[in-house]
Amino acid sequence: MSIAPVSQFFILSPRGDTIISKDYRGDAVAGTTDTFFRKVKFWESGDPPPCFTIDGVNYIYVRKNGLLFAVSTQWNVSPSMFLELLNRLAKVFKDYCGVLSEEAIRKNFILVYELLDETLDYGYPQGTSTETLRNHVRNEPILVDSVKSMRLPSALKTKTAPSSSIQKPVSGSGQKNGSQRNEIFVDILERLSVLFSQSGQVVNSSIDGCIQMKSYLSGNPELRLALNEDLVVGKANAGSSFGSVVLDDCNFHECAKLDEFESMRQLSFTPPDGEFVLLNYRMNAEFRCPFRLFPSIGDIDPYRMEVVVIVRADMPETAAGTNVVVRLPMPRNAVSVSSEVESRVPGQTAEYSANEHRVVWTIKKFQGSSELTLRAKVTLPNVVNAANRKEVGPVSMQFEIPMYNVSNLQVRYLKIAEFAKSYNPFRWVRYVTQSSSYVCRV
Amino acid sequence: MSMNQYGNSNQPQRGPAQQPPPSQSNPTGGSYFVDQKKGEINELKQLLRAVSVDRDPKKKREVIKKVIAYMTLGIDVSRLFTEMMLAIETRDLVVKKMVYLYLCTYARQKPDLAIMCINTLQRDCNNQDPMVRGLALRSLCSLRLPAMVEYISDPLKASLTDANSYVRKTGVMAILKMWHLWPQAVEDGAMVDTLYNMLQDTDAQVVANCVVVLNEIMADAGGMATNTAIVHHLLGRLEDFNEWGVCHILALVSRHEPADEDEAFEIMNLVDPVLRTSNSGAVLAAVNCFLLLTKNMPDMRYQVYERTKAPLLTLMAGGSSETVYCILKHLEGMLPRCPGVFDDEYRQFFTRYNEPTGVKYAKVRCLALLADSTTAEAVIAELGEYAGDMDPLLARQAMRAVGKICLRLPGSAAAAIERLIDLMGMDVSYVKAEAVQVVEVLLRKYPQWRTEVLPSLQRCLKHIDEPAGKAAVIWMVGEYGDEITEAPYMLEPLVDAWEEEPSSQIKMHLLTAAVKLFFKRPPEMQSMLGRLLARAVNDLSSQDLHDRALLYHRLLKHDPEVARRVCCCERPPVSGEFAEDRDTGRRDVVFSEFNTLSMVYDDHSDNFTLPEFRAKKVKNTRAIPGEAEANDLADLGLALERSKADQQQLYDAAVTAPAGGGGGTSGGDVAPPAAAAPEVDLLGLMGGDENGGGWGGGGSQAAPTAAGGGVEFQTGITINSGQFQSLWAALGAGVESSFEMSKVPASTQEVEGLLTARGVNTMASGNKPAAMKFFFYAKDVLGSTYLMQCSVLKPERLLELVVKSDAPDPAESARAISGVVKEAFASYLR
């Protein structure tokens, strides 16, 4: 029975306070938000799963910027559908409030209730696209200071945003014809999952990419976006096409029309308001890893060992990694750890966190074609043994590389379809490569 | 909004009200704080009444917003009800919406006052602005006051034919709200028929809402009844629906049983594009459709798994961790059903360091299912790495997965056991403990590997704290003690520390192991066993232990040779899998609820939902659309005639007044989507021979039968529903008879089976709590047709039969066929 409604929607703060709570069907069991929060907070082992059931009530929730967005229902619903719905609602709130934070939602609670009234009726999802909602939403957003409230950036939020306009809400009809600039932001975002073996060999590597957009074009013209002509989708179809970009698979936003995708690698679409992901893609083929890691362990004396991590930026000099963080777990019984980085390259720090048993090495800017080294001396209470060595690692790395992508997927052009209005919008096309899970075993 | 938040003095200060938190200026806390709030509510009351506020829309907004702020914090502002109701008369939509929100929250507390605002709401239902009309109707129905029903009916009816789709879709949902308030009102208004007609609305959201509403109203009959025409109509318009609509439509389609393979393929082609979308709910719904459409086509099913592989993996790679978790849970159910399909993508299931634990565990379990003879070694190596993870649960699951792979693929035993022996040497107690448990199981199947394992046991025993791990080592020592030189001396310290050992699991294993070892190493064990048995017999901590010790003692005393045969019997080596892994029945039951929470909980929905929230298991294809309305087929015929007439009227209106001339129901807005669904006859009962076959209920397979009562029926005949209806109407009054029953048939299929065997075919059947209803038909060798309506009244235990026939002597032949039916029902009759 996967056609079934939810009874409640609610947003809880990280401390468990109810910020928003809407009872759609009048059948909500009393105290559900408290029951829910207690369960999430005190989950028996590991992280709580996104769906669970207590006394016949099912809870489905997602966590966004520390906030909990949840629905409750007594029906056996489709969990995926409602998880998608929660993600979508969070996006709609972000589109309308500008940012997604506790403060923004509290300040705009009337707006949020208004949106909730339109997006679900009697527990069944209705329209959730930002532009159709616009006709029915009358409250103006109250802006909050975005810098403060962006304490916890979402995975897709990057520090390299070209302007603050990405955080401005899609406003009501008022501003539409005013001073608003005709601009569209296109991000080609690639998240890398790479696993290196001890010897630096790539064990597993994949790219999850997406083309994300945010449109502020007036009149919602139809757009055309063209990708590499030699793009191949599906390994089976790759055949002899050497040198071309081979995606394992991809999926599309509902607005995308695929008539010319197979022949010309061109998508036509009318961009919805607000942020949306036009295309998700996945690639498993070998690619040039932007960073390579070479860890090694040596003994200094019977009670001390030295762990050395060399990181090499295997990309052109023009590119650079930013916000690089390398985490190096140490044996749990380590007495002390002293770490050291090369002083010739500024903007690096390495600190040992005794609570987490790991060295955290941060590098502000990691230039392409360069190499950096971390040395950590570990003192143990016992004579160093194999088990201690086993506890070192795996080294994980976090980074973001602006204006660089590894898949070679490219936006050839983005233009307004001929028959639509002819004006020249500002196009901000960015390529960003991020780490998803970038790990090297020691 | 619960009141208890009010008592918490910290609560309101985090509120959205933009004012300094009052509790900070009032360190006295709780009780004083309440008073202050009361004061504020009075202040708000003043403000709402103030003329100056009334004139300034901006100020008014602020005041009302403050009221709503308090309300959403759980503070009782119902005292302002009267003042708020006065504010409802406004042109400011923002204010209006807030007042409606307030109204919906407090109407149930103040039903008498709520009646006062009815007028305004009703008037708003006729407002020029469609948004206001929709809003007012939604609020009107959301008051949840039964007393409102009479006020709702008219605006509700009007909304269904509104020119604006927003109002229509709100109206459709309003039917459902009304149905919960007062089901009779929906039935009286024949709204089910209306909803079926509205499936042809031009606006997809209206159609989607019709589907969910019909599905909920007909939940007791197993959900919305469909037929081929409806399914194809909806699928033809699939692109028009938004993603939630697609989810609902596909859920409906998955319940449809295609007439033949061609229809199944056709449906799959229509559903296929959904697999390319990025909404995981829609993709899983599409996968579910594919799985159900191919449930009788094993070859196709394999292709279906292949087809769904790439989309599911893409969702898994790019989705948020929550959606990934869901997908993985579904994959976990799919993998055992399609061995080999996903195997080459095993790397996709390697965990990432920053994933939630649930995702990691699910991936590990998937890896156990994915490994094949070529990849086993790589997978085992990867799982071996997880065994060193900081998270003990992940480490354990990884080791169990290694065990599972090894049991399934004998070729991987070398790699797996080597890896596990490695882990047994690791300096972490729980890793050792889990590793020996896995090894213990593996040795039961591959005893030849014991020589590799046994040397490391002694070290393990010392360092393992967990009872289960220790018990596993003790079992191995007992089982293979003759090959471990120091075996007796490994057990001795444990025997001597018997009193300090709290775990009866360890004690139990120790007892058995000691007895087994005694037969292998009698000289070294004899005195130890004596001490052990004495202690165990006197151990009062566990009855089992005491009894078993006594049993061993008496056995040994009676005849050591017999005891040896009992304790150290030859066991056939384990071949194939263990019995507990073969529990496919339960898994099948869970898998039948694909794309629901059942898959995530790995449990059947009956175990976590209350009875009233369960899907009713009625075979959908046999229920007739509009059955909720029709009490028998004659009525049904009328209902369908009417709906057809309505459609015709609609069609005419649309053709004659294409520019929204306001004729008929909703003007030009409702032109039939000719291109998408050329069939105007949605219900499919009026014609369409190809549909008739689907309803025929297997009559064609019946063997030639000479039924009792002198009637001989033809086999392989089919009559479609349209013919049935027209014939039923043409034949006039039938012959009625009734029989008392001793018991009621368990299902409609049971009855249909009995009649099919006698050459009588089923037109349609339905099962309701109070009655079963069947429509049968048959043709005798002389060419006369017989139509029957047969009702089983459950509470009365009565079988009622109406027979009509075009035979020359209807009365006589009716009696004959009654005899046939009576014979078929023989076992149920008194």
Q: Which helix (H) or strand (E) holds A247?
A: strand A246-247
Separation in Å, CA B97 to CA A74, B51, B139, B546: 29, 21, 9, 74
Q: Which helix (H) or strand (E) holds A297?
A: strand A291-301
Tokens representing residue A22 in the block: 């809407």
Query: Which residues of chain A lie closer than 8 angstroms to B391, CB-CB?
Result: 46
- High-pLDDT (> 70) share of chain B, %: 82
Q: Please check whether residues A275 and A420 belong to one and the same domain.
A: yes
User: Does A43 contact chain B (CB < 8 Å)?
Assistant: no
User: Does B361 contact chain A (CB < 8 Å)?
Assistant: yes
Q: How many CB pairs under 8 A join A and B?
A: 261
User: Does B352 contact chain A (CB < 8 Å)?
Assistant: yes
- Mean pLDDT over B804-815 rounds to 77
Structure confidence at residue B165 (pLDDT):
93
Whether A163 maps to a domain, the answer reads no
User: Does A162 contact chain B (CB < 8 Å)?
Assistant: no
Separation in Å, CA A389 to CA A432, A441, A442: 36, 12, 9
DSSP string, B39-64: HHHHHHHHHHH-HHHHH-HHHHHHHH
Look at A76 and B391 and tell me if their CB atoms are within 8 Å. Answer: no
Q: Name which of B69, B354, B427 is nearest A109 (Cβ-Cβ).
A: B69
pLDDT digits (tens, 9 = 90+) for B540-597: 888 888 999 999 999 898 888 888 888 887 777 777 667 666 667 788 888 989 999 9
Structure confidence at residue A245 (pLDDT):
84
User: Does A83 contact chain B (CB < 8 Å)?
Assistant: yes
Question: Is the predicted pLDDT of residue A327 greater than 90, yes or no?
Answer: yes
Rounded to a whole number of angstroms, the distance from the CA of A344 to the nearest CA of chain B is 31
Counting beta carbons within 10 angstroms of the beta carbon of residue A303, is it exposed (0 to 12), middle (13 to 18) or buried (19 or more)? Answer: middle
The CA-CA-CA angle for residues A33, A38, A40, to 5°, reads: 95
Q: Please check whether residues A296 and A394 belong to one and the same domain.
A: yes
Closest to A100 (Cα-Cα) out of A141, A131, A137, A64: A64
Structure confidence at residue A152 (pLDDT):
36
Rounded to a whole number of angstroms, the distance from the CA of B169 to the nearest CA of chain A is 9
Look at A79 and B326 and tell me if their CB atoms are within 8 Å. Answer: yes
Split at pLDDT 50, 70, 90, the class of B468 is very high
Q: Give exposure, A57-78, as e/b (b: 16+ Cβ within 10 Å).
A: bbbbbbbbbebbbbbbbbbbbb
Query: Which residues of chain A lie closer than 8 angstroms to B94, CB-CB?
Result: 110, 138-139
Which residues of B, range 678-707, sit inside 8 Å of A by Cβ? Answer: none
User: Does A172 contact chain B (CB < 8 Å)?
Assistant: no
Q: Please check whether residues A320 and A297 belong to one and the same domain.
A: yes
Please count the residues of chain B: 830
Q: Which residue has the higher pLDDT, B235 or A31?
A: B235
User: Does B243 contact chain A (CB < 8 Å)?
Assistant: yes
- When scoring B11, B13, B18, B72 by the number of chain A Cβ atoms within 10 A, the one with the most, hence best to mutate, is B72
pLDDT digits (tens, 9 = 90+) for A271-294: 887 788 999 999 887 888 999 999
Query: Which residues of chain B lie closer than 8 angstroms to A195, CB-CB?
Result: 350
Is there a contact between B349 and B313 (Cβ–Cβ < 8 Å)? no
- The pTM of the whole model exceeds 0.95: no
Q: Which residue has the higher pLDDT, B72 or B631?
A: B72
DSSP string, A27-59: -PPTTHHHHHHHHHHT-SSSSPPSEEEETTEEE
Dihedral (C-alpha) B334, B339, B340, B346: value to the nearest 10 degrees? Answer: 50
Q: Please check whether residues A12 and A130 belong to one and the same domain.
A: yes
Query: Which residues of chain B lie closer than 8 angstroms to A58, CB-CB?
Result: 597, 608
User: Does A173 contact chain B (CB < 8 Å)?
Assistant: no
Closest to A19 (Cα-Cα) out of A73, A66, A57: A66
Q: Please check whether residues A40 and A89 belong to one and the same domain.
A: yes
Among residues A92, A114, A134, the one where a domain terminates is A134
Q: In 3-state terms, what secondary structure has residue B803? A: strand
User: Does A392 contact chain B (CB < 8 Å)?
Assistant: no
Residue type, B133: R
Q: Please check whether residues A262 and A300 belong to one and the same domain.
A: no
Q: Which residues touch A363 (CB under 8 Å, ≥6 apart)?
A: A321, A324, A325, A326, A345, A347, A348, A372
Angle of the B504-520 helix axis to the B560-567 helix axis, nearest 10: 120
Strands A246-247 and A232-233 turn out to be parallel
Strands A183-196 and A202-215 turn out to be antiparallel
Which residues of B, range 277-296, sit inside 8 Å of A by Cβ? Answer: 277-285, 288
Look at A47 and B357 and tell me if their CB atoms are within 8 Å. Answer: yes
User: Which residue in the block uniquely carries the two structure tokens 């569209």?
Assistant: A184
User: Does A234 contact chain B (CB < 8 Å)?
Assistant: yes
Beta bridge partners of A359: A328, A352
Q: Which helix (H) or strand (E) holds B317?
A: helix B298-318
- Alpha carbon A369 to its chain centroid, in Å, reads 27
Look at A280 and B284 and tell me if their CB atoms are within 8 Å. Answer: no
Is there a contact between A438 and A399 (Cβ–Cβ < 8 Å)? yes
Q: Please check whether residues A320 and A421 belong to one and the same domain.
A: no
Kindly tell me the sign of the dihedral angle through the C-alpha atoms of B460, B462, B464, B469.
positive
Q: Give exposure, B775-798, as e/b (b: 16+ Cβ within 10 Å).
A: bbbbbbeeebbbbbbbbbbbeebe
Q: What is the DSSP letter of A395?
A: E
Whole-number Å distance between alpha carbons of B770 and A98: 56
User: Which residue in the block uniquely carries the two structure tokens 């031009």?
Assistant: B202
pLDDT digits (tens, 9 = 90+) for A353-372: 988 889 999 999 999 999 99
Q: Please check whether residues A371 and A411 belong to one and the same domain.
A: no
Counting beta carbons within 10 angstroms of the beta carbon of residue B438, is it exposed (0 to 12), middle (13 to 18) or buried (19 or more)? Answer: buried
Split at pLDDT 50, 70, 90, the class of A167 is low
Whole-number Å distance between alpha carbons of B483 and B492: 17
What CATH number is given to the structural domain containing A225?
2.60.40.1170
Question: Is the predicted pLDDT of residue A149 greater than 60, yes or no?
Answer: no
Query: Which residues of chain A lie closer than 8 angstroms to B214, CB-CB?
Result: none
Look at B426 and A114 and tell me if their CB atoms are within 8 Å. Answer: no
Phi–psi pair at B626, nearest 5 degrees: 85, 5
**Which of left, alpha, beta for B792 (phi over 0: left; psi -120 to 50: alpha)?**
beta
Look at B385 and A441 and tell me if their CB atoms are within 8 Å. Answer: yes
Look at B610 and A56 and tell me if their CB atoms are within 8 Å. Answer: yes
Tokens representing residue A315 in the block: 């990309």
Give me the sheet containing B798-805, strands edge to edge: B735-740, B798-805, B785-793, B771-779, B761-767
Residue type, B28: T
Whole-number Å distance between alpha carbons of B73 and B772: 51
Rounded to a whole number of angstroms, the distance from the CA of A134 to the nearest CA of chain B is 12
**Alpha helices for B117-220 (secondary structure H):** 118-124, 130-142, 149-160, 165-181, 183-188, 191-198, 204-217
Residue type, B136: A
Structure confidence at residue B691 (pLDDT):
38
The CA-CA-CA angle for residues B469, B471, B474, to 5°, reads: 115
Tokens representing residue A182 in the block: 């005709």
**Domain containing residue A337:** 291-402
User: Does A57 contact chain B (CB < 8 Å)?
Assistant: no
Q: In 3-state terms, what secondary structure has residue A167? A: helix
Radius of gyration (C-alpha) of chain B in whole angstroms: 36
The ranges assigned to domains in chain B are 1-145, 466-582, 631-679, 690-828
Is there a contact between B766 and B624 (Cβ–Cβ < 8 Å)? yes
Structure confidence at residue B760 (pLDDT):
81
Q: Name which of A121, A206, A387 is nearest B138 (Cβ-Cβ).
A: A121
Whole-number Å distance between alpha carbons of B167 and B130: 6
Structure confidence at residue A74 (pLDDT):
92
Q: What is the DSSP letter of B277?
A: B
Q: Name which of A17, A52, A74 is nearest B609 (Cβ-Cβ).
A: A74
Q: Is 3.50.50.60 the CATH number for B690-828? A: no
Beta bridge partners of A249: A282
Tokens representing residue A298 in the block: 């040596």
Average pLDDT over chain B reads 79
User: Does A381 contact chain B (CB < 8 Å)?
Assistant: no
Is there a contact between B614 and B306 (Cβ–Cβ < 8 Å)? no
The total number of structural domains that make up chain A: 3
Rounded to a whole number of angstroms, the distance from the CA of A426 to the nearest CA of chain B is 27
| 3-state SS string for B293-310 | HCCCCHHHHHHHHHHHHH
Q: Please check whether residues A126 and A174 belong to one and the same domain.
A: no
The CA-CA-CA angle for residues A221, A224, A229, to 5°, reads: 175
Residue type, A427: R
Look at B358 and A49 and tell me if their CB atoms are within 8 Å. Answer: yes
Look at A45 and B357 and tell me if their CB atoms are within 8 Å. Answer: yes
- When scoring B98, B108, B218, B247 by the number of chain A Cβ atoms within 10 A, the one with the most, hence best to mutate, is B247
Tokens representing residue B729 in the block: 């109407």
Whether A426 maps to a domain, the answer reads yes
Look at A85 and B614 and tell me if their CB atoms are within 8 Å. Answer: no
Look at A79 and B11 and tell me if their CB atoms are within 8 Å. Answer: no
Kindly tell me the sign of the dihedral angle through the C-alpha atoms of B431, B434, B438, B440.
positive
- Mean pLDDT over A196-219 rounds to 87
Look at A113 and B68 and tell me if their CB atoms are within 8 Å. Answer: yes
Query: Which residues of chain A lie closer than 8 angstroms to B325, CB-CB?
Result: 49-50
Closest to A442 (Cα-Cα) out of B385, B764, B405, B147: B385
- Mean pLDDT over B791-818 rounds to 78
Split at pLDDT 50, 70, 90, the class of B460 is confident
Q: Please check whether residues A304 and A212 belong to one and the same domain.
A: no
Whole-number Å distance between alpha carbons of B559 and B561: 5
pLDDT digits (tens, 9 = 90+) for B620-666: 443 434 433 333 333 333 333 444 444 444 444 444 433 433 333 33
Q: Please check whether residues A386 and A420 belong to one and the same domain.
A: no
Is there a contact between B259 and B570 (Cβ–Cβ < 8 Å)? no
User: Does A39 contact chain B (CB < 8 Å)?
Assistant: no
Query: Which residues of chain B lie closer than 8 angstroms to A18, CB-CB?
Result: 1, 5, 74
Q: Please check whether residues A228 and A88 belong to one and the same domain.
A: no
